[in-house]
Structure 1
Amino acid sequence: MDGISYALTAVTTPSVLLAAAGGVLWGILGGALPGLSPSIAMALLLPFTFDMTPLAAIVMLTGIYIGAEYGGSIPAILIRTPGTNAAAATVIDGYAMHQQGRGGEALGLSLVAGTIAGLVGLICLVLLTAPLSALALYFTPPAYFALAIMGLSVIAALSEGSLVKGLIMGIIGLMISTIGTDPLSGVTRFTFGGAELLGGIEYIFVMLGVFAVAELMSKMAEGDDEEGITKSVARVKLPGVKKLWALRGALGIGTGVGIIEGPIPGAGGTVAAFLSYNEAKRWSKTPEQFGHGAEEGVVAPEAANNAVTSSALIPTLTFGIPGSNSMAVLLGGLLIHGIQPGPMLLSTRPDLVYGLFGGLFLSNMFMLIFGLLLLGPAVWLVNRPKPYLTASIFMIVLSGVYSINQSLFDFWVVLLSGVLGYGMKLLKFPVLPLILGVVLGYMIEANYRRSLLLTNGEHRVFFENPLSLGLLLCAGLIIGLAVVSEIRRLRHGRRATQE
């Protein structure tokens, strides 16, 4: 009953209401801008959460995530340009429906399917958080070290491109995390005599650089291309109960796949959307309609990527291991406000956890409301010339960075991180392992050092602890499977070249 009380208090608190509404509003508009992913939209407003209460800040960030996942479907359906990676699956049948004069129906299906799936995912989050937190209470420093290593290994193994590139970026992220003061001895490291680096490199600046600034640089390099932009504004047409019942199969498949894929590190909404699209087509009575305006082809992927917005929070809250770029930004927001995710979070801050559940409910409701009201402004925003959009976003980034410490040094950190991110983009190096290396670096180093203190420097402590041993074996297995997969991929590429 205490949990319900905390949730009800949250949904009736003005600051939380405004945070949820503002987050969803920005998320929808940000998601509607092609190339501005949910993680970038979250990172842009992350600096502005410093003066907010922890609950309001976290609710706003999750609201951005929820709103952006729906907002990405607007340009996907209307101009055949996915606003987010996950919306790429919606393009296939959503744009076909729009060409048939059924764009309003497609937008309505996307909105309602996303809302229903988001609420079902929230129920699963509520039911699973407490049991997993109880399990995580058995974690000791060696187990936490092994868990962080496994999380980093999973992300590296599932990164786009080669395994080697993923591991390299993860190691670079760990190296960045060592800048500053030693967590146990207090000795300064890699500060080059500068006072600005005594506190280390804040991950918020790295996130803003590699996500937002790098994306802006990429868009500027592409130039301005106004071809294919539509000036028409469709009206959302919500599906009735009879229509939803007819589409229950696709809705169930998308929701189920999203709930399962969400907690898996490296999977996220994109994998869930395409997987659910394929499964919906496989089990459909009319698979031949897919690709030609099938309503199931819109419902399944949109339900999947919106279900992920809740289920992806499970490992982030219970273990402190983010499984996607968006969850990495959210983890950064939690740490900025002095909140350490993990097994003790539910027992030490039940008001925050259950308040977040209430905030997620509010965000899904606001998504439904704003989805009906904001289509016109969102389409207008999508149609603005790219230079204006780029300049506006860059202004938001710089003002947000300066608002944190009022330091010009922070500008240089963000800009250099942006150059690094742009170079990674050109060379096809994955970003997520770098971010996780920076975010998880302290957890890895501190628990490693603490574990060695328990045995006077003996590494046997990692193999004597059952949880630690099991997690390290899992990490080794994941890397081993990734190595085998990489070898097969290289062999297949050589054979294709020879042929």
Structure 2
Amino acid sequence: MDAYFSSLLLCIEPLNLMLILITAVVGLIFGAIPGLSAAIGISLLLPMTIGMQTTQAFCMLLSMYISGVSGSFIGATLIGIPGSSSSIATTFDAYPMTQKGQATRALTIGILASFFGTIASIIIATLLSPVIADLALQLGPWEYASLCFCAITLVAALSQGSMFKCLLATSIGLAMGCIGMDKVTGVARYTFGAHELDGGISVIAITLGIFACRQISMNYAKGNQELPEVKDANIKGIGISLIDITHHIGAIIRAFFIGLWVGFLPGMGSGVSNMIAYAHVKSSDKHPEEFGKGYPAGIWASEVSNNASIGGAIIPMIALGIPGDSITAMLLIGLMIHGLQPGPLMLTSNPDISYLIFAGVLVCCLLVLGMQLLTKRWFPLLLKIPYHYLYSTILIVAFIGAYGTANSMFSIYVMIGCCILGVIMGVGKLPISPFILAFILSKSLEEYFRKGVSYADGDYSAFFTRPISLIFILIAVISIIWPIVKKIRSTKKHQIVIENYK
């Protein structure tokens, strides 16, 4: 606990508080405006934090994370368009409530739900992460290789869309992770004579290209630069009472644990948890017919769950070195940039930074709550910022960030190449999450696999004879096979129904 309180004191130093507040304002803008997101904001921040102290860097990154995910309900509430996928379900009831003239109530529920979900999940993450890390220390390279394999396949299996496309995106990420110098043999792989690639593809260039430049390119190509006019919502006061919370406490608790669990699963995150929690709360509510008409329980369910996923995703990132979603994958990159190795040993070798993340989320959460409650009357102004200013600024920052990572134009070429790859993936409807998580985990997967084979004197059976390793492999195989079996069974059932009808 001493390390935690020391980290907490670091977070509330004046300079760090100022950085958190400034970044929270920017994160709120990225979260609120459709087409932008916390992921884009963090991708732009990463190159800026390279020369900063680790404490300051993570205060900014965490603030962008918390405010970006939390702020996505603003667009969903005021114009019926979610700022990101994390608040799709919020739109179903928040916007109808605004149309009824209850915008203040809808916004306040969104603010408080985001706060409850984040604060409770990070407390649980703070308590559980050391326990999981202690258990993970008992594992060998065989278990870690199987765990990485399991995480990658789960991301592909649980992602929405065609299984083939998810696996293809995963394969591309793994292939790109192999580019560079082999650490064992010292042989350059897949560099095609370009010595700039000997160190591998820059993760900064990939994140800037895939998240920032790709999103802007696709939005511009689709003509998504105009938002509906924000009506005068007359936002004043608090808008809710204690009864609004106590009356829906059951839905809040159920949505919280759904969000926490979904966040813990690799590759899922807030974009999935809000939809699952909304569907569950609706099916278990006494008045399911009220959902979609401006029912408060729908807002509570969506916003509590998507923010609870934050703590859920941080647990495997800190305790196992496995990112819970694409945003924590970028936080993982941030740790590596500052010379830290995420995983079970991090809590013992770098407790100050580990607990800084837990304490930082707590401080960011409290500051974002206060800022949102005090400034919510100005939320409509965020949705009136012209896109041509935003896009120009983001692109300039992206190009400067890419160049600054290696002081080379080659990094900019890589970023543009990744942007083109991202656009092609978008056109082909290949998901981004499996790609980026496979790229991040590819090096760990290869390292642990080769260590396991080496320690066993070339015997591959060790991966199957060790119980925990076998369990991870079985989970991975089942996660890939089960959707295929389910689809075949569904097709056969459909054919039987047609034949009986005939």
Q: Normalised by the shorter chain, which TM-score bucket?
A: over 0.9
Q: Which amino acid aligns with 1:155?
A: V
Q: Matches of residues 381-460 of structure 1 in structure 2 within 5 Å?
A: 381-460=382-461
Q: CA deviation at 1:323?
A: 2.4
Q: CA deviation at 1:466?
A: 2.7
Q: CA deviation at 1:264?
A: 1.4
Are 1:171 and 2:144 counterparts? Answer: no
C-alpha distance 233-388 of structure 1, shift in aligned 2 (>3 A): farther
Q: Give the Cα–Cα distance (whole angstroms) in 2 for the partners of residues 325 and 282 of structure 1.
A: 29
Q: CA deviation at 1:290?
A: 1.6
Are 1:298 and 2:299 counterparts? Answer: yes
For the residue of structure 2 that corresponds to 1:5, the secondary structure is helix
Q: CA deviation at 1:491?
A: 6.1
Q: Matches of residues 86-485 of structure 1 in structure 2 within 5 Å?
A: 86-224=86-224, 226=226, 228-230=228-230, 232=232, 234-235=234-235, 237-238=237-238, 239-375=240-376, 378-485=379-486
CA contact (8 A) 2:318 2:346 kept: yes
Q: Which moved more, 1:79-88 or 1:276-285?
A: 276-285
CA contact (8 A) 1:320 1:331 kept: yes
TM-score by length of 1: 0.94
Q: Give the Cα–Cα distance (whole angstroms) in 2 for the partners of residues 497 and 52 of structure 1.
A: 65
Q: CA deviation at 1:377?
A: 5.5
C-alpha distance 220-154 of structure 1, shift in aligned 2 (>3 A): same
Q: Which amino acid aligns with 2:252?
A: L
Name stretches of at least 5 consecutive residues in structure 2 with no aligned partner: none
Q: CA deviation at 1:283?
A: 3.4
Q: Which amino acid aligns with 2:108?
A: G
Q: CA deviation at 1:381?
A: 3.4
Q: CA deviation at 1:489?
A: 6.1
Q: Which amino acid aligns with 2:301?
A: A
For the residue of structure 2 that corresponds to 1:72, the secondary structure is helix
Q: Which amino acid aligns with 2:163?
A: L
CA contact (8 A) 2:113 2:300 kept: yes
For the residue of structure 1 that corresponds to 2:267, the secondary structure is coil
1:246-280 deviations in whole A, cap 9, x for unaligned?
A: 23223222222212221012332122212222232
1:212-244 deviations in whole A, cap 9, x for unaligned?
A: 111111111111553622153642643333332
CA contact (8 A) 2:142 2:448 kept: yes
For the residue of structure 2 that corresponds to 1:183, the secondary structure is coil
1:168-212 deviations in whole A, cap 9, x for unaligned?
A: 221211111111111222222222222211111022211221121
1:102-127 deviations in whole A, cap 9, x for unaligned?
A: 11111011101211221111111112
Q: Give the Cα–Cα distance (whole angstroms) in 1 for the partners of residues 261 and 188 of structure 2.
A: 43
1:122-162 deviations in whole A, cap 9, x for unaligned?
A: 11111211110011001211111111101101001112221
Q: Give the Cα–Cα distance (whole angstroms) in 1 for the partners of residues 489 and 316 of structure 2.
A: 31
**Percent of aligned pairs with the same amino acid:** 33
For the residue of structure 2 that corresponds to 1:186, the secondary structure is coil
Q: Which amino acid aligns with 2:475?
A: C
CA contact (8 A) 1:105 1:236 kept: no
For the residue of structure 2 that corresponds to 1:50, the secondary structure is coil
CA contact (8 A) 1:263 1:323 kept: yes
Name stretches of at least 5 consecutive residues in structure 1 with no aligned partner: none
Q: Which amino acid aligns with 1:222?
A: K
Q: Give the Cα–Cα distance (whole angstroms) in 1 for the partners of residues 91 and 149 of structure 2.
A: 37
Q: Which amino acid aligns with 2:409?
A: L
Q: Which amino acid aligns with 1:6?
A: S
Q: Which amino acid aligns with 2:339?
A: G
Q: Which moved more, 1:106-115 or 1:179-188?
A: 179-188
Q: Give the Cα–Cα distance (whole angstroms) in 2 for the partners of residues 373 and 222 of structure 1.
A: 35
Q: Give the Cα–Cα distance (whole angstroms) in 1 for the partners of residues 434 and 492 of structure 2.
A: 25
CA contact (8 A) 2:267 2:323 kept: no
Q: Which amino acid aligns with 1:139?
A: L
Q: Which amino acid aligns with 2:449?
A: Y
Q: Give the Cα–Cα distance (whole angstroms) in 2 for the partners of residues 70 and 462 of structure 1.
A: 41
Q: Which amino acid aligns with 1:343?
A: P
CA contact (8 A) 2:346 2:354 kept: yes
Q: Give the Cα–Cα distance (whole angstroms) in 2 for the partners of residues 185 and 228 of structure 1.
A: 57
C-alpha distance 487-237 of structure 1, shift in aligned 2 (>3 A): farther
CA contact (8 A) 1:224 1:387 kept: no
For the residue of structure 2 that corresponds to 1:312, the secondary structure is helix
Aligned pairs, number:
499
Are 1:84 and 2:84 counterparts? Answer: yes
C-alpha distance 491-412 of structure 1, shift in aligned 2 (>3 A): farther
CA contact (8 A) 1:154 1:478 kept: yes
C-alpha distance 17-485 of structure 1, shift in aligned 2 (>3 A): farther
TM-score by length of 2: 0.93
Q: Which amino acid aligns with 2:451?
A: R
CA contact (8 A) 2:209 2:415 kept: yes
For the residue of structure 2 that corresponds to 1:185, the secondary structure is coil
Q: CA deviation at 1:338?
A: 1.6
C-alpha distance 260-404 of structure 1, shift in aligned 2 (>3 A): same
Q: Give the Cα–Cα distance (whole angstroms) in 2 for the partners of residues 497 and 86 of structure 1.
A: 38
1:438-483 deviations in whole A, cap 9, x for unaligned?
A: 1111111111222222233221232233322221122112222133
C-alpha distance 225-9 of structure 1, shift in aligned 2 (>3 A): closer
CA contact (8 A) 1:184 1:446 kept: no
Q: Give the Cα–Cα distance (whole angstroms) in 2 for the partners of residues 157 and 290 of structure 1.
A: 30
CA contact (8 A) 1:141 1:451 kept: yes
Q: Which moved more, 1:254-263 or 1:18-27?
A: 18-27
C-alpha distance 17-360 of structure 1, shift in aligned 2 (>3 A): same
CA contact (8 A) 2:166 2:430 kept: yes
